[in-house]
Structure 1
Amino acid sequence: MMRIGYYAHHHGSGHCRQADKLAALLPNDARAQLTVFTSLDINSYRFTAIDEQQIVRLNAEDERSDDILAGRAGEYWQPASLHYSPVGNSDIQKRSHQILDTIFQRKIDLMIIDVSVEVAMLCRAASIPYLYVRLPGIRDDAPHSGAFSGALALLAPYPKALESTHTSEWVCDKTLYLDFIYTQKTELCTYESFIDILAKLSAGSEISVPKSTRLSSIEAQLTDKSEATILIITVIKGYGGHKAIDEKLPALRSLLPNALIISLGPIDDDKRCYVDISAEVDDVTPFICHSNYLMMACGLNAVAQAYHYDTPLIVVPDDRPHNEQAVMAEALVTQNKALNWQQFKTLMRVNDNQPESFDQTIHGQSKPYPTTSVDNIEKNDVEEDSSKETNAAMSTDAQAFMHSTTDYPTTKRWFENWLLPRLNLTPESTIKDCLIKNNRQLDSETKINDDHSANE
C-alpha cells in the first residue's frame, strides 16, 4: 500500500474540502496513512475524514519586508517556470523544509498537489513523484505547462464532458478525469419538509423587505394540499468570492418581483433587501432538489453538488485567475446544463417568466412547479432516491483511483501497471525499455530458431 501526501492550497476552503472528499473514499487503514499539507488554519476548514495529526500546518508563503527579491521581481529575476518565488523568504524556506522533511519522515510514496506550481517544482527537483490537480480554465502558461510536464499524471475533479476546448490535446491525454466528487450523505427531504426548513429560516432571517406574503402563500398551499404556484429561486454562494452574483440580485428581484428568493452563503449587507431569506446552511441538497431555479457561481464544489440534478442552473461566474469559473460556465452552457445570465433574462422576458419554457430550453422537457400533493411527495422521494444513487455512482472513477493506490506496494509498480494503461501517453524511457525488452526477446527467439535449424 502506498502512502499518499496531499498538498491543499490555502485560497478558500475548496482545496482542503477536495482532499477531505478523496480521503473519504479510501479504506480506513489507507486513510490513516494520508497526510495533508496546508497553510489554511483549522478555523477556516475542519476535516471530517482524517484526524488533525494527519495534517501538517505549513508556514505562510506571504512576502516579507526582509525578502531579498519580491515574489514577482520582473523578467531579469523571475524564473519562467514559477508563478511566485520570493528570494530570502524565511517562511517559504521553513515550509519547504516542512514539506520535504515530512515526506521523508513519513515515507510518503506519492504527492497529490492541489494546486501549486512551486510545490510541484520542489517535488520534481527533489525527485518526489507527484500528481497535479488540474482546475478548469485556460492554463497554458509556462509555469503550468512545466508543472503538468513534471507530473506522473494530471487529475481533473470534473467530468471530461466539461473540458475546455482550449486545452491542449497532450494535457487531456495525460489527465485522469475523476468526475465530480460528492460524498455527502443526506436524508430524504420531501417538499413539505423543505417548506418547514424555509419557515424556520424565515423566522430568523434579518431582511428589510416583507417576505411573509410569499412564504405564507407557499405554506397556505401546502396546508391545502394544492399545487404551489410561486417561483422559488435559490442563490448559492461560496466564500471564495461572491461579488459578481450579489451584484445581480437587484436585477433578479426586478425581473421576478413575485418570486421567493433565497440567498445561501455570504451576502453583502446592502443586498439583503433583494432576497426573502438569507441564511447559511450545512446541507444545500433540499434547496437544489426543490427550487425552481438555482443561481450560482461556478466553483467546483458548488457545481459538483448541483450537476446531476434536473433543477435548472443560471450561472454567474466569479472573476478568477485563468478564467477558471468563466470556462466552467461556458462548458455548462455548451452541454445544455445551464443558461448564462443574459440567456436567462431573455428567456424570462420572452416567455413571461414561465418555468416550463426555461426547462424545455435546458433539458428538452417540461418540469412543473413543485407540488404539495401526496403523489408529488412520493414522486419527490423516488427522485431523491435516484439522486442519492447518482451521487454514489459519481464517486466511481475517483474511488477506483484512490483504491488503486492501495493495491500496489510501490509507486513504480502502480505507475507502470495501473496508471500508464489508462493514459494515452507513454514516457520515452518506458518506450525504450519496451524496445530493448522486445529486441532481447526477438534475439532469444532467433537464437532458438537457429539452434533448431542447426540440429535439423
Structure 2
Amino acid sequence: MIGYYIHHQGRGHLNRAMAIAAELDQPVTGLSSQPRPVGWVGDWIELARDDESAAPRDVDAHGRLHWVPLHDQGLSDRMAQVSHWIAESRPRVIVVDVSVEIAVLARLFGIPVVSVALPGVRDDEAHHLGYDISTAIIAAWPQEAEGMISGLSAPARRRLHCVGAISRFGGRVNERRRSATPDAPRRLLLLGGAGGSSLDAATIAVAREATPDWHWTVLGSRGGRWVEDPWPEICAADVVVTHAGQNALADVAAARRPAIVIPESRPHEEQTTTASVLAGSSRWPALVRWNFPVTGWPTLLDEALGLDGELWDGWNDGLGARVAAAVIQRELAQAPAGEPA
C-alpha cells in the first residue's frame, strides 16, 4: 500500500500524482483536500481544509514549519484523518507533494517518505526538515537543468532524483502532429494556469491587435476560458505563450511546441528560477520574457517560430512518470519482508 498526499493548490500536483500513480504496481491511496478526481483508480481520502480560518495565528511555528495555525479545527481534523488512515492501513511508503507537515507526521509513524521537490529557493528551516527526513526526493525536471533548486543540504541533494518533466498527456503524443494549410493563419496559444494569473484582458487585447496575422486562443488567463483538456489546443499552436509552472511546461514540451515563457510571481521564486534556467541555455526551445511585453510582438513571435520544438525532448522525454514510479518502487523494496503491501 502506498499513500500519496496531494496539495490542493492549482492542478499541477494532482496531474503529476495521477501520472505517477498510473505507473505504480501497488494500490495507491490519495490524500488531499481536493475531491476525488475522475480517473483515480485507488482509494481516496478527502481531507479537511486547514486554511479557512479568518485570522490564523502563528502559521509557521516561528519559522520551523510552513502551515500549522494555532487552534485551527481544520488542521486538527486533517491530521487526525491522516493519522487514523496510517494506523489502519499501515502504508509502506507515503509520497508527499507537497507538505512538510504531512512528511513529518508520516515519518513520526515510522513510514518512509518520498517527497516531491519544487523548483526555487528552498533554504528555509521547514524545507530543510522535510527534505532531510525524506528517504528519496523526486524532481520533475531533467538532470541537465542545473540550478532548478537551491538550498538543499548535501545529504538531501544526494537523495534527489531528477526524473525529467511529467506531463499528464504523456500517453497522447501520437496526437501532437499539426496539419495546416499553407495559407492558414499562424496560431498562438496563451496558456494560463489554475494557480492564478497576473494578466488582464486589456493587456492581452493590445498584443492581439498588434499581431493581426496570428490567430490567438486564450486559456486560463483573464479574458480566456478554462478547459479540462487543453491538449488539442496546445498541439494546434505554432507557438505557446505560457507561465513557467512545471506542468504547463511539461505539457508544452510533450507537444514539442516552441514557447515564450513569462514567469508568474510564486513563493520561493519557483517560476522565476525555472525561467532563469531556460533563459540560461539554448538547449530548450523557449524564449523568456520577465514581463508580458507591451510592444514587439510580431518580431518576438517570428523569433519563437524559428525555434525547433523537437529540442523539448531533453526536457520531457516521456519517461518522467515511469522513472518517478521506479524511485518509489525502490523504496518499497526496502520494506522488511512480511510487512503489508
TM-score when normalising by structure 1: 0.63
Q: 1:246 to 1:322 in 2, by over 3 A?
A: farther
The residue number in structure 1 matching 2:158 is 173
Instruction: Provide the secondary structure at the position in 2 that maps to 1:162.
Output: coil
Q: Does 1:411 align with 2:335?
A: yes
Root-mean-square deviation over aligned CA pairs: 3.3
Whether the aligned pair in 1 keeps the contact of 2:244 and 2:274 (CA below 8 Å) is yes
Q: Does 1:333 align with 2:273?
A: no
Whether the aligned pair in 1 keeps the contact of 2:244 and 2:263 (CA below 8 Å) is yes
Distance between the aligned counterparts of 2:291 and 2:76, measured in 1? Answer: 49
Q: Does 1:230 align with 2:217?
A: no
Distance between the aligned counterparts of 2:50 and 2:240, measured in 1? Answer: 37
Structure 2 unmatched runs, 5+ = none
The residue number in structure 2 matching 1:38 is 32
- CA distances 1:162-221 after superposition (whole Å, capped 9, x unpaired): 3426614624322111211235333536645xx7xxxxxxxxxxxxxxxxxxxxxxxxxx
Structure 1 unmatched runs, 5+ = 196-221, 272-277, 368-382, 414-456
- CA distances 1:133-165 after superposition (whole Å, capped 9, x unpaired): 111111111111111111112111222223426
Distance between the aligned counterparts of 2:256 and 2:133, measured in 1? Answer: 39
- CA distances 1:277-327 after superposition (whole Å, capped 9, x unpaired): x55445433433342210011121111111255422111112111111111
Give matches, 1:390-429, under 5 Å.
392-404=318-330, 408=333, 410-411=334-335
Distance between the aligned counterparts of 1:324 and 1:87, measured in 2? Answer: 27
Whether the aligned pair in 1 keeps the contact of 2:120 and 2:148 (CA below 8 Å) is no
Higher-RCO chain (CA-CA 8 Å, sequence separation at least 6):
2
Whether the aligned pair in 1 keeps the contact of 2:13 and 2:97 (CA below 8 Å) is yes
Q: 1:232 offset after TM fit, Å?
A: 1.3
Q: 1:239 offset after TM fit, Å?
A: 1.2
Q: 1:303 to 1:353 in 2, by over 3 A?
A: closer
- Percent of pairs with identical residues: 24
Distance between the aligned counterparts of 1:49 and 1:291, measured in 2? Answer: 29
The residue number in structure 1 matching 2:46 is 57
Distance between the aligned counterparts of 2:150 and 2:294, measured in 1? Answer: 31
Give matches, 1:204-243, under 5 Å.
222=181, 227-228=182-183, 230-243=185-198
The residue number in structure 2 matching 1:92 is 75
Q: 1:58 to 1:354 in 2, by over 3 A?
A: closer
- CA distances 1:21-55 after superposition (whole Å, capped 9, x unpaired): 1111123xx1xx2111111134xxx241414xx11
Q: 1:250 to 1:330 in 2, by over 3 A?
A: farther
- CA distances 1:48-68 after superposition (whole Å, capped 9, x unpaired): 1414xx111111112547x9x
Whether the aligned pair in 2 keeps the contact of 1:157 and 1:180 (CA below 8 Å) is yes
Whether the aligned pair in 1 keeps the contact of 2:140 and 2:320 (CA below 8 Å) is no
Whether the aligned pair in 1 keeps the contact of 2:264 and 2:272 (CA below 8 Å) is yes
Distance between the aligned counterparts of 1:142 and 1:258, measured in 2? Answer: 51
The residue number in structure 2 matching 1:105 is 88
| Larger fraction in strand | 2
Q: 1:110 to 1:247 in 2, by over 3 A?
A: farther
Distance between the aligned counterparts of 2:143 and 2:201, measured in 1? Answer: 30
Q: 1:188 aligns with which of 175, 178, 188?
A: 175
Flag the structure with larger Rg: 1
Whether the aligned pair in 1 keeps the contact of 2:191 and 2:221 (CA below 8 Å) is no
TM-score when normalising by structure 2: 0.82
Q: 2:57 aligns with which of 57, 63, 70?
A: 70
Whether the aligned pair in 2 keeps the contact of 1:347 and 1:353 (CA below 8 Å) is no
